[in-house]
Structure 1
Amino acid sequence: MTAPGAASLATDALDDPPLRPLPGQAAVLLERADAPPRLVAHLRAVHDVAAQLVVWAQRHCPDLEFDAEAVLFGAATHDIGKVLHPAELSGPGSRHEAAGRELLLTYGVPAGLARFAGTHASWTAPGTGVADLLVSLADKVWKNRRVPELEDLVVARLAGADGRPAWQWFMELDEALTAIGEGADRRLAYQTSHPLTRR
């Protein structure tokens, strides 16, 4: 039996857990890459968390400058390289990062958007921007994994944007991430309910 296509999994209405559909361009790219269902489910979970972070940041720190659409696209495609390195769908590995960036570039995705596939695990690299940090944060918090170093970088950007002290931003971000983390079990169950291959 063949699993549903990537575009369908990426965009169909979903109530449990209530995950937003992926952006249309991302859905098309995943279909074109023949992305396996488990990968699409993962990307959908991370994208939904990224959307929550975008809304939170825009509401709580309107002076923080970042490209919200880029964050959403980055979250929706950050692991696309796993179509070329499927062992990394169920095990560790970083070969999918550079491979994903290159794959997106071959599909005509601008470098500024393709970069997230290569940077989502490199939040301390020079030139890392707010959008990169938010994609990285979403990729951790979707399963309620907290990374203090990454969160500190986000706090520093928030504090730098509006001048409020870092300790205050730490408390606000912690509260937001704790709330997002409460949905982790449902997101994880959704991801693991999908097969690793389409056939």
Structure 2
Amino acid sequence: RTLAAPPRLAAHLRLVHDVAYELADWLARYCPGLIFDRADVLFGAATHDIGKAVHTGELSGPGSAHEPAGHELLLAHGFGPARARFAATHATWGEPGVSVEELLVSVADKVWKGKRIPELEDLLAGHVARAAGEERWAAFLALDEVLGRLADGADVRLAFQAAFPVGV
């Protein structure tokens, strides 16, 4: 509200948050040995595209100007770097040192609309495999199953988001 975010942006952030919630729940059950900050994941999912409140053209078209803008917006509103990072890193999941939390936000930001990126999912599966003490392929198959289930609901989520206007 403070940023006068377009309704479509609010709907999108809610949808990504909801998928991240389900993914985090599954991961906690499947691999309790994988330590991650669930609250950070949910915050990141709920704010990752907040820069689109400034760069509204990126709500309906390509662009990455919202990423640094979102990072700066969150910092300016009193959030620390650990939380603001999600706005800047949700599209840079291939960079060295990306955390499990950042990978979860990135995966949720793709799978909510049914998009699957094997390289991204493989990075997350690697963390799961190491923490679970299992082969990478086994972790990938387990992750693939849950992501497939989540992706199956994409049509409903896309229709929900499309029902909201891009403008304020």
What TM-score, normalized by structure 1, do the two folds share? 0.83
Structure with bigger RCO (C-alpha 8 Å, 6+ apart): 2
Q: Which of 147, 160, 168 pairs up with 1:190?
A: 160
Amino acid at match of 1:158: V
Distance 1:196 1:179 in 2: 28
Where does residue 123 of structure 1 map in the other structure?
A: 93
Where does residue 127 of structure 2 map in the other structure?
A: 157
**In the alignment, does 2:125 pair up with 1:180?**
no
Matched position secondary structure for 2:157:
helix
Amino acid at match of 2:33: D
- 1:170 CA displacement: 1.1
Distance 1:126 1:154 in 2: 13
Amino acid at match of 2:158: L
Q: For 1:17-56, list aligned pairs within 5 A.
A: 31-56=1-26
Structure 1 stretches of at least 4 aligned residues deviating more than 6 Å after TM superposition: none
Where does residue 68 of structure 1 map in the other structure?
A: 38
**In the alignment, does 2:93 pair up with 1:104?**
no
- 1:126 CA displacement: 2.2
Aligned residues: 168
**In the alignment, does 2:55 pair up with 1:85?**
yes
| Structure 2 unaligned regions, length at least 5 | none
Where does residue 19 of structure 1 map in the other structure?
A: none
Where does residue 136 of structure 2 map in the other structure?
A: 166
Task: For residues 72-92 of structure 1, give each alpha carbon's deviation from its aligned partner in whole angstroms, at most 9, with x where no partner exists.
Answer: 000000000001111000000
Amino acid at match of 2:16: V
Distance 1:108 1:98 in 2: 16
Distance 2:74 2:86 in 1: 10
Amino acid at match of 2:79: V
Distance 2:25 2:114 in 1: 18
**In the alignment, does 2:111 pair up with 1:141?**
yes
Task: For residues 119-177 of structure 1, give each alpha carbon's deviation from its aligned partner in whole angstroms, at most 9, with x where no partner exists.
Answer: 00000112210000000000000001000110000010001112110111111111100
- Report percent identity of matched pairs: 57
Matched position secondary structure for 1:98:
helix
- 1:183 CA displacement: 0.7
